[in-house]
Amino acid sequence: MTKKILLEISVESVDAAAAAERGGADRIELCADLSVGGLTPDTALIRAVRQQIQIPIFVMIRPRGGAFVYSSAEFAQMKKNVAAARDSGANGLVFGILKPNRTVDIDRTRELVELAQPLPVTFHRAFDACPDLAQALEDVVRSGASRILTSGGAASAPEGAANSAMLVEAAGKRVTIVPGAGINAGNILQVAAATHGQEFHSGLSSAFPQPPTDYAQFEKEVRAMVKMLSTLTPE
């Protein structure tokens, strides 16, 4: 198979997942309540999306909005959600846990990564709340996660592109850096050129209300991004 640059689209419904697939997305991140950054979807939604689409589904594991420091009860719930998502047809999982000082909670993250096996894990944008992104990168590598979704510590991926480029270089082959936040058809080529990323993430929140209501336009925007990425040569 020819290597290509990948596009992941975050969605919270069957209709949006189907539109993303029709548009050519390579993977979806399935969430509930994207208005707060994404929460754990229920198993009924995971199974419904799994029946509808063929591309990989990475499921968000996040018990509530707000800070990424979790109580013992919340962590126990996350462990149950990891097992439920894995058993409901997920192809990967997405989560992130921090300590009160906003550094990566390596031990708890590793525990969830091991529970998720054999599925790959993306450490989500909790990463961007860390005060030292270079150290956070090393901590995530130690946790065993496969990917890091990041805006380079900025409000959006275009603004944090320089930091993301440094992370891509520092990560090497150890973990995949996935630039995301504020990416759309109008800027994805610039972000790709600036970061040298090989995978990109978009929820299209800058282009559509959440949840989107015009799925034809949603599909069209995804297709436009896919077409632009297809002009690039993977590194």
pLDDT number for residue 211: 65
**Contact predicate 58/29, CB 8 Å:** yes
> Three-state DSSP class for 94?
strand
pLDDT number for residue 204: 85
175-211 pLDDT tens trace: 999 999 999 999 999 999 999 999 999 998 766 666 6
100-136 pLDDT tens trace: 999 999 999 999 999 999 999 999 999 999 999 999 9
Choices 3.90.1150.10, 3.20.20.380, 1.10.10.10, 3.50.50.60: CATH for 6-226: 3.20.20.380
pLDDT number for residue 2: 61
* For the chain, domain boundaries: 6-226
- Find, among 104, 116, 110, the residue nearest to 69 by Cα: 104
- Cα–Cα dist 166/62, whole Å: 27
The answer on pLDDT for 221 being more than 70 is yes
- Cα–Cα dist 123/127, whole Å: 7
**Contact predicate 30/57, CB 8 Å:** yes
- Cα–Cα dist 94/62, whole Å: 8
Mean pLDDT, rounded, for 63-71: 96
**Contact predicate 30/65, CB 8 Å:** no
The answer on pLDDT for 233 being more than 60 is yes
pTM of the model: 0.95
131 prior amide bond cis, ω within 30: no
